[in-house]
Amino acid sequence: MQSLALTGADRPFSFEGAISVLEEGGCAKPLRHNHEDAALYTVDGELPGDLATGLLAQSDTLSGVRIRLASNTTALALTYTPTSSLQRCNFDVVLDGAAELTATQDFPPQYTGEMPVFAGDIMAFLGAMHEIAMSNAPVAHTVKFEGLPGGEKVIELWLPTIGGCNISKLEIDEGATAAVAPDSRPRWLTYGSSITHCMGLDPSGTARSPSRCWPAVCAQKAGVHLTNLGYGGQCHMDQAVARMIRDLPIKPDGFSFKLGINIHNMVRRHNPIPAPCRRPACTRDA
């Protein structure tokens, strides 16, 4: 197989649904925040490292982010390192914008040891999980999709909704073509909590499919381009997020906010009264 460039102007694909892409050492890490403004997304009291739960950590995750390219390849392979060894990774392939996904693969967490039991103290529980994650570093893994139909097609590889991925290699068939596939559909941006993030907590596992979470299904059925800014536990109408939306290089044609539950949970840290007015006003400045 041949490797595609991951960084720079020669990259023959796009990261759709990402706000920015951090490029280091020939690797690419798509993000749902502007990495140059990362300090604006940090909150007081956030846990360090892999189990951080604040806005910065949740915007490192990839709900709605997908790799999009036009290619005649019959196989696609992605080598990535997850943010945490406790992270479950699900990948979907969708062809030509179809509502039905073509293929899916599910990779359980790399750590298979004994897990702590939640006994009512959330900080103690997360601290124990953090210790496990720090002592079990994640390793690179390759997910491969084979048997794709021949001929030119638009391929979308949907990345996991939970956790982040540092991508070190993307491969297609030797001699196959690859090019950026512009998406001219109307653009929809949705903002919300874990309900919009689609955290994959359904025990049946169906909610973990990144192309079958509800924002993705709605976008596919409506024929629109999706940017999902659902941040689990972090829908606080932060001004940093409003500024980020305002400054997007390609503006959304419409946006929706799913507000309420995190404001209620975090009312002691956030003043919820003026925020619903400030947030749309700042966003409409674009």
Set out the domains of the chain in order of their start, with CATH numbers: 2-284 (2.60.120.260)
Lowest mean pLDDT among 46-55, 176-185, 201-210: 46-55
Mean pLDDT of 171-195: 95
The predicted model gives 98-118 an average pLDDT of: 80
Q: Determine the angle formed by the axes of helices 239-246 and 275-284, rounding to 10 degrees.
A: 20
Confidence of residue 32 (pLDDT cuts 50, 70, 90): very high
Higher pLDDT, 274 or 252: 252
DSSP state of 159: P
Average of per-residue pLDDT values in the chain: 83
What are the residue ranges of helices labelled H in 69-213? 122-135, 194-197
Highest mean pLDDT among 109-113, 148-152, 162-166, 193-197: 148-152
Cα–Cα distance measured from residue 61 to residue 44, given in angstroms and rounded to the nearest whole number: 20
Give the span between the Cα atoms of 191 and 200, in whole angstroms.
17
Mean pLDDT score, 111-116: 84
As a whole number, mean pLDDT of residues 129-156 equals: 89
Measured CA to CA, the distance from residue 179 to residue 149 in angstroms comes to: 17
Beta strands in 84-193 (DSSP E): 89-95, 103-107, 141-146, 153-158, 165-172, 178-179, 187-192
Task: Kindly give, in sequence order, each residue whose CB lies less than 8 Å from that of residue 190, ignoring residues fewer than 6 positions away.
Answer: 196, 215, 226, 227, 228, 229, 230, 255, 256, 257, 258
Q: In this structure, what token pair is assigned to residue 100?
A: 């039905």
For residue 17, pLDDT beyond 60: yes
Report residue 142's pLDDT band, with 50, 70 and 90 as the boundaries.
Answer: very high
Confidence of residue 199 (pLDDT cuts 50, 70, 90): confident
The confidence score (pLDDT) of residue 7 equals 93
Q: Of 49-63, 221-235, 260-274, which gets the smallest average pLDDT?
A: 260-274
Tally of CA atoms within 13 A in the half-sphere of 205 that contains its CB: 9
pLDDT tens, residue by residue, 52-89: 457 788 888 899 999 999 999 999 999 999 888 878 88
Query: What is the Cα–Cα distance from 109 to 82, expressed in whole angstroms?
Result: 9
Coil, helix or strand at residue 204: coil
Query: What does the pLDDT read at residue 151?
Result: 95
